[in-house]
Amino acid sequence: MYTPQVLDHFQNPRNVGEMADANAVGESGSAVCGDVMRIFLRIEGGVVQKASFKTFGCGAAIATSSVLTELVKGKTIDEVRKIKNTDVVAMLGGLPPIKIHCSVLAEETLKAALDDYERRTPSGTGK
């Protein structure tokens, strides 16, 4: 049912936990299944230096959160804005159709974090 990548990110999630020095935080929840995802980013000079997450949800929600944090690190804000749920699914080698909403939740949470960053730094430069 799940790919080896999904199982790996669920059983060995990367970048778990709150980030004290985050300058961007996004949260989103799914009415479909009750999953709640929160992502923390540290953006410096327009580039994501660090990313972490806290997720309450199923294995697919945890796996999508984990892979998302790996996907955004080292990317510019413009590159991160282009990340879609399909990119998350591709990095995981696929998700069962009933779990695609987890990847959508990851995309929404990422966008919320970027919106938070822009609110905190009106110039968008992070300086």
List 77, 83, 91, 102, catalytic entry: 102
In this structure, the dihedral spanned by the alpha carbons of residues 46, 86, 54 and 35, taken in order and rounded to 10 degrees, is 140
Please identify which residue in the block is written with the tokens 């929840």.
29
Nearest-angstrom CA–CA distance, 11 and 14:
10
Assess whether 58 carries a catalytic annotation. no
In this structure, the dihedral spanned by the alpha carbons of residues 41, 81, 57 and 52, taken in order and rounded to 10 degrees, is -20
List 7, 33, 36, 47, catalytic entry: 33
Assess whether 33 carries a catalytic annotation. yes
Q: What is the DSSP string of 18-48?
A: --TT-SEEEEEE-TTT--EEEEEEEEETTEE
Please answer whether residues 66 and 41 qualify as being in contact, where contact means their C-beta atoms are separated by less than 8 angstroms: no
Please give the positions annotated as active site: 33, 102
